[in-house]
Amino acid sequence: MHILELRDIHAFYGGIQALKGVNLYVDKGEIVTLIGSNGAGKSTTLKTISGQVKPKQGNIFLNGKDITSALPHETAVSGVAQVPEGRRIFPRLTVKENLEMGAFSVKNKKVVAERMEKVFHYFPRIKERLSQRGGTMSGGEQQMLAMGRALMSGPNVLMLDEPSMGLAPIIVEQIFSIIKELNESGMTILLVEQNAYQALQIANRGYVIQTGEILMSGQSSVLLRDDQIKEAYLA
Amino acid sequence: MLAEILHTLPQVLIDGLALGAIYAIVALGYTMVYGILELINFAHGEIFMTGAFIGTAILITLTGLGWIAVMPALLALLLVLVITSVLTGFIGMGIERIAYRPLRKAPKLITLITAIGVSFLLQDLVRFITEVKRGNYILTGPSMFTDRVEVKTSSVLSVFNDASFKESFIIVFVVAAIMMITLDFFINKTKWGTAMRAVAQDRDTSALMGVNVNKVIGLVFFLGSALGGATGVLFAIQYGTIDPYIGFILGLKAFTAAVLGGIGNIRGAMFGGILLGVLEMFASANLTLMTNGVFGAEYKDVFAFAILILVLLFKPEGIFGKVVMEKV
């Protein structure tokens, strides 16, 4: 059984059909990347999974359970964490409060404290900034905070929407190596990226999406060598 | 002239604090809802008024049953405050559920007009019920805490006159202070309070954190309306006579106080309310004197609102409103 599976998803976003029958799955422990150009339907796919966009047709399964009609907060509670595009840090909450919000559905305070320590392990810089307001941090720090916040819920699947967007190359390197590290410690990851080359470098498998349809899918190593992909996305 | 203003200053401050505390708590209701929905909930002044009527009705009933005579007055007050605030809290939540939530995605103006409609509905409903029950929509509750307390402020500074207040002033002020401190703590220090602030900043992302946004919005309406209703009770006790229209002008002023302090800002609303109350009482006591009789005390609102306009001209975001620099 796949941990996350999309079957024939059709969805509309802003009046246009953004997804036209997307099939996709993620297995436990994998990094799967969804690559494609601007407006191809990458973000809509993630939003459909998290419940922010309701599909017109098709089903979404989490651990075999149909979550197609779940509301965003229900999907979050059932184990899907999303790092949204543009990070969406709560600007006027402190860094600590941002992390606490990530663990909103966790009742046990001890678990929250443990998870926070774990977040500090991956992102030591967050620990130095706990009382600072989220909105005053740099883009790279906000990306780290957004990832840390998502980890606070203790998710089964971590979805990242364009984590490299707008960041300096050196920061992107760091972010990607942390994604890799997270995966090595057992986290299942669905990574949406425009930065196809870097995403395929760390992913097990990849899907290429174009105008709402999956154009191609397979092992990252295979996709990296594919001439068509090389020309369209890796140039 | 200055000496004469100083004579009355202690009394102005006492009366201003009582009125200001009432403005402040009603202002909290406006500012909380605005902060989370960007909606000016015009019905909030009517929630305050409904609270005043519910509270007075309970007091009249308790008096009729002969309970007030045997009960300590403070206990009776506490009982009335709790029952009223729970009821108005649910009324506020119900209004959100029925009238505002279906319009969540509609243009803001539509919801605003709906709020004005709800406001009229509550006014007429309260008027109707009161007229049916009492034959008159102006209601005077049993008098409580009416003993006057003298304050010998003249012994502090010889230029001051002595001041006095009804015992109810202490009740109003203490209850108001407790409500404000508790709310401030709740919003800043608890998990649900943090969720309220998070939803106010970014509703979609809050949902991704597992926060049930509708529940949080319902909670905001419950808290704002419970506080507003309790304040109505305080108002009825302090000023004695109420009618179904007290919520309109008071709501307008409380909203003004919220804007003055920086709309969406909790502490700003508290400060704005107190400031507006004191300014109004100051104008009421001194306008005739300051303008050589050209403007009488009845121009107090003009004075208070002129100050508001001045503040907003120089600080459009309000006194405590902050323009937060946000990096992308």
Tens digits of per-residue pLDDT, A129-174? 999 999 999 999 999 999 999 999 999 999 999 999 999 999 999 9
- The pLDDT of residue B70 is 84
Nearest to A101 among B198, B325, B326 (CB): B198
Tell me which of B66-80, B99-113, B166-180 is least confident. Answer: B66-80
Check if A58 contacts B (Cβ < 8 Å).
no
Domains in chain B, ordered, with CATH? 2-314 (1.10.3470)
pLDDT at A217: 94
Q: Identity (one letter) of the amino acid at B251?
A: G
For the cut 60, the answer to whether the pLDDT of residue A25 exceeds it is: yes
Tokens of B205: 């992302």
Task: Look at A93 and B263; give whichever has higher pLDDT.
Answer: A93
B327 → closest Cβ in A72, A102, A135: A135
Which residue of B191, B194, B209 is the best one to mutate when testing the A interface, meaning the one whose CB has the most A CBs within 10 A?
A: B209
Q: How confident is the model at residue B73 (pLDDT cuts 50, 70, 90)?
A: confident
- A45 close to A217: Cβ distance less than 8 angstroms: no
Question: Looking at the complex, does the CB of residue A85 fall below 8 Å from at least one CB of chain B?
Answer: no
User: Residue B77: CB partners within 8 Å, gap ≥ 6?
Assistant: B144, B171, B233, B237
Q: What is the pLDDT of residue A73?
A: 96
pLDDT at A70 over 50: yes
What pLDDT is stored for residue B20 in this prediction? Answer: 95
SS3 A84: coil
- Where does the pLDDT of residue A27 fall: very low under 50, low under 70, confident under 90, or very high at 90 and above? very high
Whether A73 and B204 lie within 8 Å, measured CB to CB: no
What is the average pLDDT value for chain A, to the nearest integer? 94
A108-112, A149-153, A226-230 — which is least confidently predicted? Answer: A226-230
Judge: B209–A153 Cβ closer than 8 Å, yes or no: yes
Put simply, whether A142 touches B (Cβ < 8 Å) is: yes
Inter-chain residue contact A135 with B207, CB threshold 8 Å:
no
Q: What count of Cα atoms within 13 Å lies in the side-chain half-sphere of residue B206?
A: 25
A188 at the B interface (CB within 8 A)?
Answer: no
* Interchain contact, B198 vs A149, CB within 8 Å: no
Provide the H-helix boundaries in A51-123: 72-77, 95-102, 109-122
pLDDT band at A235 (very low <50, low <70, confident <90, very high): low
B213 chain-A contacts, CB cut-off 8 A: 73
pLDDT (0 to 100) of residue B328: 37
Q: Is A113 an 8 Å CB contact of chain B?
A: no
Q: Is A165 on the interface with B (CB under 8 A)?
A: no
Residues on chain A touching B325 (C-beta within 8 angstroms): 135-136
For every residue of A117-152, DSSP letters joined together read HHHHHH-HHHHTTTTSBGGGS-HHHHHHHHHHHHHT
Q: Does A156 touch chain B (CB under 8 A)?
A: no
Confidence of residue B324 (pLDDT cuts 50, 70, 90): very low
Where does the pLDDT of residue B323 fall: very low under 50, low under 70, confident under 90, or very high at 90 and above? low
Q: How far is B207 from chain A (nearest CA, A)?
A: 5
Query: By CA distance, what is A101's nearest residue in B?
Result: B209
Q: Which CATH architecture has domain A4-79+155-233?
A: 3-Layer(aba) Sandwich (3.40)
pLDDT of B1 reads: 76
pLDDT band of B327, cuts 50, 70, 90: very low
pLDDT band at A211 (very low <50, low <70, confident <90, very high): very high
Contacts of A76 in chain B (CB under 8 A): 207-210
- Give the tokens for residue A219: 């092992």
* Host H or E run for residue B46: helix B44-64
Average pLDDT of the segment spanning A199-216: 94
Closest-CA distance, B218 to chain A, in angstroms, reads 16
pLDDT of residue B150 exceeding 70, the answer is yes
Q: Is the pLDDT of residue B258 over 70?
A: yes
pLDDT digits (tens, 9 = 90+) for B291-307: 888 888 888 888 888 88
Mean pLDDT check: name the lowest of A85-94, A135-144, B148-157.
B148-157
Share of chain B above pLDDT 70, in %: 98
What is the number of alpha carbons within 13 Å of residue A66 lying toward its C-beta? 7
Which chain B residue is nearest to residue A154, measuring alpha carbons? B209
Greater confidence (B263 vs A80) lies with: A80
Strands A31-35 and A188-193, by their bridges, are: parallel
The C-alpha of A224 sits at a distance from chain B's nearest C-alpha, in angstroms, of 32
Residues A150/A88, Cβ–Cβ less than 8 Å: no
Range in A3-12, A42-51, A60-69, B315-324 the model is least confident about? B315-324
- pLDDT single digits (tens) B47-59: 999 999 999 999 9
Residue B267 has pLDDT above 60, yes or no: yes
Domain spans of chain A, in order of start: 4-79+155-233, 92-154
* Burial category of A65 from C-beta neighbours within 10 Å (exposed 0-12, middle 13-18, buried 19 and up): exposed
Averaged pLDDT of chain B: 91
CB hemisphere CA count around B167 (13 angstroms): 7
- The stretch B148-157 carries a mean pLDDT of 83
Beta-bridged to residue A83, according to DSSP, are A160
pLDDT > 90: percent of chain B: 63
